[in-house]
Amino acid sequence: MTVIAARRYAGGKPHDEPLLLNGQEHPLPPAGSFDWVGLADPSPEEMELARTQFALHPLAVEDALNPNQMPKVEVYGQQMFIVARTAAIEEGENIAYGQTAIFLGSKFIVTVRIGSMRAHSQLRERLELDADRLVEGPDYVAHAILDFIVDGFQPILEKYEESVLAMEERAIDQFPEPSTIRRIFRLRRQFRRFHRIIGPMEEVCERLAATELPVIDAGARIWFRDVLDHVRRSLARMNGLRDTLASIVETAALLEQHRQGDMTRQLAAWAAILAVPTAIAGIYGMNFDYMPELHHKWGYPAVWGVIALICGGLWIRFRRIGWL
C-alpha cells in the first residue's frame, strides 16, 4: 500500500485513532475536524479505494494517475482538484519533474504524488507543530503543500545561477570552448522546458488567490497570494538566467568578431606594406631593353631607399590608427 500517511485532525491536533483507507464511505468528520491522506505512486486499485471513500470525481482520479498533466484547477461540485508540478535536480544538470495532485473537500484533503522526489513528511510534521494554523482546515494545508512545492524550485535556481554567472565571467576573458557552447544550449533547453512545465503554476495560484471557489475560505486567499508571489519570482529568476545565457552567446560572438576584425586589419596592413616591394620588384622584372636606373651607380640603393621610405611610412601610419 502506498499510503504514506493518513490522519484525522481535530482542533489542529492529530487524532489518536489511525485513519484507514479501505474504500468504505466514512461519515463526515465533526466540526473543526478534517482528514488528510497522502499517497505516493498509487496503483489504480488503490486510487479506486480513495475515490470510493471520499467520493472523488472519476475524471479527477484519472488525471491524478496521469504523470504528464499540466498544472490546473478543476471544480467538481463542492470539491476541488488541483494539479501542481514539482521539480528537482538530478545528477548533473538535468531537472526531474514530478506531479502532485490535490483533492480538496470541506472535510478532507487527499494528496497524490507521482514521480515527486520530495516527500511531504517533514511538511506534515511542521504543520502538526502549529495547531493554530492547522485548525484552519484543508484549504490551509493545500496552501502549505503548494508553498512547499514552489520553495523546492529555489535550490534549482541557486545552482543554475552559480553555473551561469561563472560562465558569464569566463566569457568576458576568452571565447567559450565548444563544450561550453554545447552546455549553454543544453541549459537553455532545460530553462525553456522549466518555463513550459512550471509556468502554468502561476495561473493556478492566481485563480486560487483571486477567484471564489467552493472550499477555499475568503480569508485563505492571502496565503495563496503569497504562493503566487513565490511562483512569479521563480519564473522571473529562470527567465533572467535564460536571458543571461543568451547574452553570453551574444557577447562571446561580439568578442570573437572583434578579435577576427583585429586579425583582419593586421593582415591587411602587412599586405599593404609588403605590396610596395612586390610592386617595385614587379616593375623592374619587366623585360624592357632600356631602363636607365639599372645602369645608374646609385640605382640599386635608391630603390631600396624608396622601398624603406614607403614601407616605413605605411608602418607608422598603421601603428597610429591601431592596425598594428
Residue range 14-28: mean pLDDT, rounded: 76
Q: What residue type is assigned to position 164 of the chain?
A: V
Q: How far is CA 273 from CA 231, 286, 304, 312, in A?
A: 63, 21, 14, 8
Question: How many independent structural domains does the chain possess?
Answer: 2
Are 44 and 102 part of one and the same domain? yes
- Are residues 230 and 106 part of one domain? yes
- Mean pLDDT of all residues belonging to the chain: 85
Instruction: Report the predicted TM-score, pTM, of the whole model to 2 decimal places.
Output: 0.77
> What does the pLDDT read at residue 147?
94
pLDDT(85) > 70: yes
Burial category of 60 from C-beta neighbours within 10 Å (exposed 0-12, middle 13-18, buried 19 and up): buried
Last residue of a domain, one of 228, 254, 280: 254
Query: Do 50 and 188 fall within a single domain?
Result: yes
Domain boundary pick from 214, 235, 254: 254
Question: What torsion, rounded to 10 degrees, do the Cα atoms 274, 275, 279, 281 define?
Answer: 20
Give the whole-angstrom CA distance, residue 302 versus residue 43.
Answer: 99
Do 301 and 172 fall into the same domain? no
156 and 228 both lie in a single domain? yes
**Helix H or strand E segment including 319:** helix 299-320
CB 127 within 8 A of CB 90: no
CATH of the domain at 272: 1.20.58.340
Considering the domain architecture, whether residues 106 and 202 belong to the same structural domain is answered as yes
Kindly state the average pLDDT of the residues 302-323. Answer: 80
In which domain, by residue range, is 288 found?
261-320
Exposure string of 142-167, with b = 16+ CB inside 10 Å and e = fewer, is bbbbbbbbbebbeebbeebeeebeeb
Question: Per 3-state DSSP, what percentage of the chain is helix, strand, and coil (rounded to 5)?
Answer: 60, 15, 25
What strands, in cross-sheet order, belong to the sheet with 33-40? 13-14, 3-10, 33-40, 108-114, 95-104, 79-89, 72-76
Could you tell me if 98 and 114 lie in one domain? yes
State the pLDDT confidence band at 293, using cuts at 50, 70 and 90. Answer: low
Q: What is the CATH number of the domain that holds 12?
A: 3.30.460.20
Residue 162 and residue 276 in one domain: no
Based on the fold, state whether residues 249 and 265 are members of the same structural domain. Answer: no
The pLDDT of residue 230: 93
pLDDT digits (tens, 9 = 90+) for 171-204: 777 777 778 888 888 888 888 999 999 899 999 9
User: Which residue, of 215, 235, 254, is where some domain finishes?
Assistant: 254
Ranges of beta strands (E only) in the chain are: 3-10, 13-14, 33-40, 72-76, 79-89, 95-104, 108-114
Which range has the worst mean pLDDT, 24-28, 214-218, 264-268? Answer: 24-28
| 221-284 vs 299-320: helix crossing angle, rounded to 10 | 170
Same structural domain for residues 188 and 306? no
Which residue is listed with cell 560572438? Answer: 253
Let me know whether 314 and 227 are in one domain.
Answer: no
> Is pLDDT above 90 for 229?
yes
Q: Are residue 206 and residue 237 in the same domain, yes or no?
A: yes
